[in-house]
Every structure is written in structure tokens, then in C-alpha cells.
């Protein structure tokens, strides 16, 4: 997600988050980690991701 966002591809970053979320749910019945969700939220809100995981 971070790489796509830094390359100016926020739509691909978002797509990667949803792929990750779906895989975690289907394979391990888990939600994304808090740092992953925080990174997604930063991308969604146009906030700096440099200090995010």
C-alpha cells in the first residue's frame, strides 16, 4: 500500500488493502492489524504516511 501510494497510485493502494483484508478473512478469519488499518485510513484521508508503518 505504501509503495503504491508513494508512486502516486492511491487507487492501487486501496485495492491492495481490500485484497489483504479479504485474504485474511477467508484464510485465517482475521481482521487486518491496527497499523495496516491506520495506513489505509491515512491514505483515504490524504494524510502523510511517512510516519505510518
**Residue 53 located in a structural domain:** no
Is residue 31, in this structure, part of any structural domain at all? yes
pTM, 2 dp: 0.86
Residue 53: pLDDT band with limits 50, 70, 90: low
Is 24 a domain residue? yes
Cell 485510513, residue?
41
In a domain, 50, yes or no: no
Helix axes 10-28, 34-45, angle to 10 degrees: 150
Number of domains observed in the structure of the chain: 1
Q: What is the pLDDT of residues 7-41, one digit of tens each?
A: 999 999 999 999 999 999 999 999 999 999 999 99
> Is 52 part of a structural domain of the chain?
no
Domain that holds residue 22: 2-45
Amino acid at each position: 500500500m505504501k509503495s503504491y501510494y508513494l508512486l502516486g497510485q492511491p487507487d492501487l493502494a486501496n485495492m491492495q488493502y481490500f485484497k489483504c483484508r479479504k485474504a485474511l478473512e477467508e484464510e485465517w478469519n482475521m481482521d487486518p492489524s491496527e497499523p495496516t488499518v491506520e495506513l489505509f485510513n491515512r491514505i483515504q484521508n490524504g494524510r502523510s504516511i511517512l510516519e505510518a508503518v
